[in-house]
Amino acid sequence: MNLSRVALAAGTAAASVVLLSGTAFAHVGVQPQGQAAQGGYATVNVKVPNERDNASTVKLEVNFPLDHPLASVMPQPVPGWKAEVTKTKLDKPLTLHGKQINEAVSKVTWTADGSKIGPGQFQQFPLSLGQLPEDADQLVLKAIQTYDNNEVVRWIEEQKGSEEPQYPAPVLKLSPAGEDHHGGAASTAPSASASASADAKAGHGSESGHATTETASASSTDTMARVLGVVGILVGLAGIAFGVLAGRRRSA
């Protein structure tokens, strides 16, 4: 009996560890919508899950690196949330579209304004980013999540090795500049000149076929006329012969 109780307690503890491990993987992350290429612009979603069963998320702060500054960060309106963009003066100005930029976005803060992220729920906060750096393959966007019970979770730990930290910072991966994901489609599409050539060949083939049909028809008509002509001659000769024989019989 005692052994059964020990086994039950061990099983319950193991299940709790599994549940807690599953919860630990639900962290704040960032995901591009389409391509996020070096030197280009991108739309991304910051995904914020609620990891607590007794509190709701009411605030999120996302920080942007100033060693790879972004001149433009625009949040898309999210119903029930108020967004605030904070800019910081740069030590070294950026050059964007021929203009010098002296400040860059350092963070975006979303505060609940009639809405919350409740237990068992998540919320996505869309952002438009640009111009992405050309000399980096990723951007680390450290985030701070606040609950309505005043608990603060800092998603700011950068991964150093193969093991993921307990509170990893969101990371936006950047693809190589100039990567063309539509090249395959473009290469398989026929060119205008090829299409025109094909149409011309098709049209020429149709004309040739039409001409061949007309020639065959004319040849057939000519043959029929010759046959009818020969038949007419034979009928005429037969008539003459019949007339001659009839004349002889009368004379006799």
238 or 122: whose pLDDT is higher?
Answer: 122
Q: State the Cα–Cα distance between residues 143 and 31, nearest whole angstrom.
A: 14
Is residue 141 within 8 Å of 30, Cβ to Cβ? yes
By mean pLDDT, which of 50-59, 107-116, 220-229 is the weakest? 220-229
By mean pLDDT, which of 39-53, 90-104, 134-148 is the weakest? 90-104
Q: Which of 50-64, 89-103, 172-186, 228-242 has the highest mean pLDDT?
A: 50-64
pLDDT of 239 reads: 60
Whether the pLDDT of residue 25 is over 60: the answer is no
pLDDT of 249 reads: 53
Burial label for 216, CB within 10 Å (0-12, 13-18, 19+), is exposed
Give, rounded to a whole angstrom, the gap between the first and last alpha carbons of the chain.
Answer: 149
- R_g (Cα) of the chain, nearest Å: 43
By mean pLDDT, which of 66-80, 111-125, 220-234 is the weakest? 220-234
What Cα–Cα distance (Å) separates residue 68 from each residue in 21, 94, 140, 155?
Answer: 34, 10, 10, 19
Confidence class for position 181, pLDDT limits 50, 70, 90:
very low
pLDDT of 161 reads: 82
pLDDT of 95 reads: 75
Spatial CA neighbour of 143 closest among 180, 110, 162, 169: 169
Q: Give the mean pLDDT of the chain.
A: 75
User: Mean of the pLDDT values across residues 195-217?
Assistant: 45
142 or 226: whose pLDDT is higher?
Answer: 142
pLDDT of 247 reads: 56
Q: State the Cα–Cα distance between residues 116 and 58, nearest whole angstrom.
A: 5
pLDDT of 149 reads: 97
Residue 96, SS3 per DSSP? strand
Q: State the Cα–Cα distance between residues 55 and 51, nearest whole angstrom.
A: 9
Confidence class for position 26, pLDDT limits 50, 70, 90:
confident
Indicate the length of the chain as a whole number.
252
pLDDT of 188 reads: 34
pLDDT of 117 reads: 98
Whether the pLDDT of residue 77 is over 90: the answer is yes
Is residue 132 within 8 Å of 94, Cβ to Cβ? no
Confidence class for position 38, pLDDT limits 50, 70, 90:
very high
Confidence class for position 238, pLDDT limits 50, 70, 90:
low
User: Mean of the pLDDT values across residues 196-217?
Assistant: 45
Whether the pLDDT of residue 246 is over 60: the answer is no
